[in-house]
Amino acid sequence: MSPEKENFVEHTLVLIKPDGVYRGVVGEIITRFERAGLKIIAMKMVWIDKDFAKKHYGAHLKKSFYPNLEEYITAGPVVAMVLEGVEAVEVVRKIVGPTEPKSAMPGTIRGDYAHISYAHADKTGKSVCNLIHASGTTEEADDEILLWFDPTEIHTYKRAGEKWLK
């Protein structure tokens, strides 16, 4: 077992999708993660194309909603980041809230900044604009991080007071 896994420290991928960028809430979203004690170890803004969207959302390619999802994720720039923290995957998923914004509790990112339902998206032929993507498992996080970031783009550093956060 690696030292990182022994102390429960994980890395996870977070994407602030085009609707989050266009609405100007990137800073607020980042602040929520930092206030929880998570550390940003990589970050960049990219405008992905359809080929890259297919790589990221490969598990959904055959699903009926995929064309709308692809249109949504390629509609504007995306802020991609790698966060580090104790059991980061689960912590980030709690902060983000459920995939369907309508089901997300107030206090979560999706609960505070979105309200769209699956039913509405299906009826209108649109994607569920839910502001953010967060890896669902540590395995998924490892794969997604390698897709989005070169290892040279991921940084190690100590923050003031970090000993109290880990």
Which positions are annotated as active-site residues? Answer: 133
Phi-psi region of 161 (alpha: psi -120 to 50; beta: other; left: phi over 0): left
Long-range CB contacts for residues 158-165, cutoff 8 Å, separation at least 24: 159/39, 162/39, 165/37, 165/39, 165/85, 165/86
Of 147, 135, 150, nearest to 38 by C-alpha is 135
Residues 6+ apart with CB under 8 A from 79: 15, 16, 20, 21, 26, 43, 44, 45
